[in-house]
Amino acid sequence: MKPSKLAFFALLAVATAIVQAHELQDNRATLVLRDQTHISVTLYLSYGDALHLAIAPESPLPQFWMVYSAMSPDRMQRVLARAQARFQASTRLYLATGKELPLTNWVFPDVKQVQAMLQHRVMQAMADPAGHSHDEPLEIHADANSPEPVTSVRIQFPEEFQKVLVVAYRPSQFWVEPKSWSLAIKF
């Protein structure tokens, strides 16, 4: 193989690896229909940005990071509780019939996790004031249970979440006995 072709394929392999290793930084939601009536919702958010918009949108972002990263855990817990209640109330899931499915069993990041993320943002801003860095998205979980089989749903998110990419699927599952072939697995 010629050196130029070899270099091209090496560059292509490196570029492919970089693209595959890069985690999508946009806000996203995964909806999984677990059985005919149970939907689990997992949100992956730039949580610091959503909190900024919910708590102190008039404050410059670096100032928000400084103030809330240094806040006492008890006070921060109260602030987070208000923001989380707002997020819960503004996240709506509807059946095809228009009936709202309440989301329950909410699990938000804890105070320590949120403050560590904010402190990390402060340190990044101090180390590289002109840089634009991304944090790992934080996860929020919720469930919905329908009284009837779910064929389709619609979801609405709080304005503070900005644009959200939604991925939805219904997994199939079955047992495979020892020394046996599975059923055909279709995608």
Q: Which pLDDT tens digit goes with each residue over 81-108?
A: 999 999 999 999 999 999 999 999 999 9
Tens-place pLDDT, residues 44-75? 999 999 999 999 999 998 899 999 999 999 99
Q: What percent of the chain has pLDDT over 70?
A: 82
Q: Quick one: tokens of 45? A: 């958010």
d(CA 163, CA 166): 10
Structure confidence at residue 14 (pLDDT): 36
Going by DSSP bridges, is the β-strand pair 28-33/165-169 parallel, antiparallel, or unpaired?
parallel
The rounded distance, in Å, linking the Cα atoms of 117 and 50 is 13
pLDDT band at 9 (very low <50, low <70, confident <90, very high): very low
pLDDT over threshold 70, residue 171: yes
**pLDDT tens digits for range 103-133:** 999 999 999 999 999 998 888 878 876 666 6
